[in-house]
């Protein structure tokens, strides 16, 4: 009977102690020392690490000795059960960063910076009492909205939840009208009656702004159904967060979208916290990109703190959908710097955690460095762009503050459509 140390060749097959330690650490999120892995050659591979090593062997196309598999199990227990669509998607070529023009890189920086400065100004106005009610800021997540928008067309439909300011601005809506809406002014995009969570802009194919968690997902699926039913080329980009990802209506939408091969991208903005609860505590399966597998919906996770990664992933997703393959899921691994809403002190996480994300993964700082390194912009030019954006938003905010509030008589308008042709 073979002893565990007789399987030491597996360590060499997987690249030796250093590489195996690195891959196991990445695979399991447990930091391993390469000396520990090398010691397994003499002492044998611990049982607790065998399942992970088996999965790495399968991924590398290696052979798994029968005696190495834990008792009562077979190799089938370690196979990834992916749908045929997932296997098909893997054959799609990935888009290349080298094909992204300098102009596009410039736009990523400028648009993300505009969203950041806009939301910062909104936060200030809220603090001054000029904005009331709930208000959810997008600070930290800018790469998702900007990268996704760059990959779709103006004729495509976009729908999201209550953290909607950035998505609407990315669609091309007037920032002045958004500021007016936030302050309950008559010039608001929803005439001052929707506020932060209920903004609509049909001219830009933006369908909300929905205050009920996850409620936009079946509506977004309906938009995709309408496109297919009316033979339109437009797709539906439906945003929702990790807090909504386990809702029943989301799974019903997955089922219907897959059943009818609807042209929809389910974009999950996983900012790690649903209100105040970590995704690790709220979801039994934290790989949200795989939640559609049982419905035959492929998906993959994306670095949502990098606009380039988002854009390249979105291009692949758009191609998949436009070629008639049905829905796809993109899980954006992102992070919000502020609380869930303006009333949330965010005491469920440490300041160090937030600061670490700001310092190491901020999407705007990433693009600034790339633009300087590629000699596209100088530091002076970057500062002038920032100054211009700050000035523009400040002027728009002042104009919105001084605009007329919503008329009381308008309270009963736009409630019921009485004049329609049956």
**What's the CATH code of the domain at 398?**
3.40.50.970
Residue 70 lies in a domain: yes
Same domain, 73 and 102: no
Q: What is the mean pLDDT of residues 324-339?
A: 96
Please tell me the predicted confidence (pLDDT) of residue 2: 47
Residue 17 lies in a domain: yes
Same domain, 54 and 113: no
Residue 420 lies in a domain: no
Total-model pTM = 0.80
Lowest mean per-residue pLDDT among 84-98, 250-264, 293-307, 348-362: 84-98
Of 79, 110, 137, the position where a domain reaches its end is 79
Query: How far is 337 from 340, CA to CA, in rounded Å?
Result: 9
Residue 230 lies in a domain: yes
Same domain, 191 and 114: yes
**What angle is formed at CA 244 by the lines to CA 238 and CA 248, rounded to 5 degrees?**
95
CB 276 within 8 A of CB 348: yes
CB 196 within 8 A of CB 123: no
Q: Using one digit for the tens of pLDDT, what is the confidence trace for 28-63?
A: 778 888 888 888 888 888 888 888 888 888 777 677
Same domain, 102 and 28: no
Residue 328 token pair: 């796809």
Q: Across the chain, what does the average pLDDT equal?
A: 91
Residue 87 lies in a domain: no
Same domain, 207 and 170: yes
Higher pLDDT, 281 or 5: 281
Highest mean pLDDT (candidates 274-283, 284-293, 332-341) = 332-341
Contact residues for 29 (Cβ-Cβ < 8 A; gap 6+): none
CB 334 within 8 A of CB 270: yes
Higher pLDDT, 152 or 96: 152
Lowest mean per-residue pLDDT among 14-18, 254-258, 360-364, 379-383: 14-18
Residue 91 lies in a domain: no
Residue 411 lies in a domain: no
Same domain, 171 and 292: yes
Lowest mean per-residue pLDDT among 114-118, 166-170, 241-245, 404-408: 404-408
- Chain-centroid distance, C-alpha 313: 11
pLDDT for 236 beyond 80:
yes
β-pair partners for 241:
269
Query: How far is 108 from 97, CA to CA, in rounded Å?
Result: 13
Angstrom CA distances, 277 to 29, 164, 282, 345, stand at 20, 21, 7, 13
Q: Which range marks the domain in which residue 70 is found?
A: 4-79
Same domain, 102 and 73: no
Same domain, 117 and 166: yes
Same domain, 241 and 385: yes
83 pLDDT band (50/70/90 cuts)? Answer: confident
Please tell me the predicted confidence (pLDDT) of residue 79: 61
Same domain, 244 and 318: yes
Number of domains into which the chain is organized:
2
Q: What is the mean pLDDT of residues 254-279?
A: 95
Q: What is the mean pLDDT of residues 225-231?
A: 98
Please tell me the predicted confidence (pLDDT) of residue 31: 81
pLDDT for 213 beyond 90:
yes
Same domain, 65 and 133: no
pLDDT for 102 beyond 70:
yes
Question: By C-alpha distance, which of 308, 210, 296 is closest to 261?
Answer: 296
Please tell me the predicted confidence (pLDDT) of residue 80: 62
Angstrom CA distances, 235 to 157, 193, 202, 328, 364, stand at 6, 29, 15, 11, 28
Same domain, 75 and 130: no
H-state helical runs in 29-164 = 34-43, 50-60, 84-89, 102-127, 142-151
Of 79, 112, 129, the position where a domain reaches its end is 79
Residue 302 token pair: 């994306």
Residue 177 lies in a domain: yes
């Amino acid at each position: 009977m073979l002893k565990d140390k007789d399987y030491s060749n597996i360590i060499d097959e997987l690249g030796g102690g250093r590489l195996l330690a690195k891959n196991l650490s990445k695979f399991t999120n447990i930091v391993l020392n390469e000396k520990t892995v090398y010691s397994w050659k003499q002492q044998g591979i611990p049982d607790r690490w065998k399942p992970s090593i088996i999965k790495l062997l399968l991924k590398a196309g290696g052979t798994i000795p029968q005696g190495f598999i834990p008792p009562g199990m077979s190799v089938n227990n370690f196979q990834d059960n992916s749908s045929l669509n997932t296997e098909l998607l893997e054959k799609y070529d990935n888009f290349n960063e080298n094909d992204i023009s300098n102009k596009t890189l410039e736009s990523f920086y400028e648009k993300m910076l505009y969203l950041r400065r806009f939301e910062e100004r909104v936060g200030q106005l809220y603090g001054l009492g000029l904005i009331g009610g709930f208000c959810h800021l997008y600070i930290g997540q800018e790469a998702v909205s900007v990268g996704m928008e760059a990959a779709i067309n103006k004729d495509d439909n976009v729908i999201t939840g209550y953290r909607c300011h950035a998505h609407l601005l990315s669609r091309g809506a007037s920032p002045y009208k958004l500021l007016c809406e936030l302050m309950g002014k008559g010039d608001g995009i929803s005439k001052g009656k929707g506020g932060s969570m209920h903004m609509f802009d049909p001219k830009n194919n933006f369908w909300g702004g929905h205050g009920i968690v996850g409620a936009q997902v079946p509506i977004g699926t309906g938009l995709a159904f309408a496109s297919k039913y009316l033979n339109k080329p437009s797709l539906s980009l439906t945003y929702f967060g990790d807090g909504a990802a386990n809702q029943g209506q989301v799974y019903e939408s997955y089922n219907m979208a897959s059943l009818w091969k609807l042209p929809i991208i389910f974009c999950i903005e996983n900012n790690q916290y649903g209100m105040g609860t970590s995704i690790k505590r709220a979801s039994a399966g934290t790989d949200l990109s795989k939640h559609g597998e049982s419905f035959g919906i492929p998906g993959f996770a994306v670095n949502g703190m990098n606009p380039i990664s988002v854009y390249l992933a979105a291009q692949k997703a758009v191609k998949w959908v436009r070629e008639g393959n049905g829905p796809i899921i993109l899980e954006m691994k992102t992070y919000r710097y502020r609380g869930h809403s303006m009333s949330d002190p965010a005491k469920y996480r440490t300041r160090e955690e937030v600061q670490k994300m700001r310092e190491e993964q901020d999407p705007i700082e990433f693009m600034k460095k790339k633009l300087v390194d590629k000699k596209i912009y100088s530091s002076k030019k970057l500062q002038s762009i920032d100054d211009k954006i700050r000035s523009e938003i400040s002027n728009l905010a002042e104009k919105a503050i001084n605009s007329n509030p919503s008329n009381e008589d308008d309270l009963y308008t736009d409630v019921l459509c009485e004049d329609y042709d049956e």
